[in-house]
Amino acid sequence: PELATIGGTAAANINGPRRIFYGGVRDLVIGMKVVLADGQQIKAGGKVVKNVAGYDMCKLFVGSLGTLGVITEATFKMAPIPESAATLVAAGPLSQGLQLVDQLMQSTLLPAAVAVVSAEATGVNSGRPAVAVWAEGFEEAVARHLREIQELAARMELRAEVLREETHRIFWEQIRDFGSSGENLVYRVTVPAASLAEVVETIDRWSRSEGAARFVAHAGSGTVWIESGADPAGAAWFPRLTALAKERRGHAVMVAAPPELKQGVDVWADPPESLSLMREIKRQFDPNTVLNPGRFIAAL
């Protein structure tokens, strides 16, 4: 993450935990300049939210992994730095934590981030699964969030702890850097938000019964990051995660793996139904396959 660039973040469309509050990269980019395969530079969007009419070409390039063009400039929507921020970590049985998430998402509260973390995902939750809720804004609003979430956690018989300033920052850095050691297998599963609890419970059950894995799940976006050992047992997670996601109209990706385990594996799993359309777009923008060949789904 410390090596991430603005262009790389846009090209990969990798979102952080506060996506449910601020939106994802694709939502935040309102303009960009892109160099195409023939060397021509084009401009998409603009520098104000009220933009020009026509196709929003920014959304085509965000997430294309540099296979359609090289992003040289990007303009983003901005938001003011919040006056105050704090995190409430509610630790206890996973089933009760997921009930807390469900209650929270149905409430009138507007947290900046909600993460479900496995027992060993961070050093904060003392060997137990936990739900972490990030509240930010004016201090009065943050205090209200903490108070009401503590009340919800107490009803679920979860142990709550409030993190502020340095402990708040360190905790979310651990969430941000989850799986970035470069030593283990890392998978990303994305499903509709309504299916997240079921997917998390399944992954937790597999981990406890058949092979240890850590996970961080982002409520609201339906994204689960899973880290397992760099061995054949860890590699065996991929087909199971792919099937689990597919059953719920989602998808799974092998994000990182040692070369010896990655060899011969299609990290994108099953290609989407839109593959023929994606091939045609690639052919139009890069007919000679100059840009990042083979990097995307089905070697696009």
Q: At what angle do helices 196-209 and 237-247 cross, to 10 degrees?
A: 160
pLDDT per position as a tens digit, 193-211: 999 999 999 999 999 887 6
Q: What's the whole-number mean pLDDT along residues 98-109?
A: 96
Q: What's the whole-number mean pLDDT along residues 22-50?
A: 92
Name the residue among 245, 230, 255, 227 with its Cα closest to residue 190: 245
Percent of all residues in the chain with a pLDDT value above 90, rounded to a whole number: 75
Rounded to the nearest integer, the mean pLDDT of the chain is 92
Give the per-residue pLDDT at 282.
Answer: 96
Confidence of residue 50 (pLDDT cuts 50, 70, 90): low
**pLDDT reading at 76 higher than 90:** yes
> What are the start-end ranges of the H helices in 156-224?
165-176, 196-209
Confidence of residue 254 (pLDDT cuts 50, 70, 90): very high
pLDDT per position as a tens digit, 263-286: 878 899 888 889 999 999 999 999
Query: Domains of the chain (ranges plus CATH)?
Result: 6-76 (3.30.465.10), 84-176 (3.30.70.3450), 185-262 (3.30.70.100)
| Candidate from 26-30, 86-90, 188-192, 212-216 with smallest mean pLDDT | 212-216
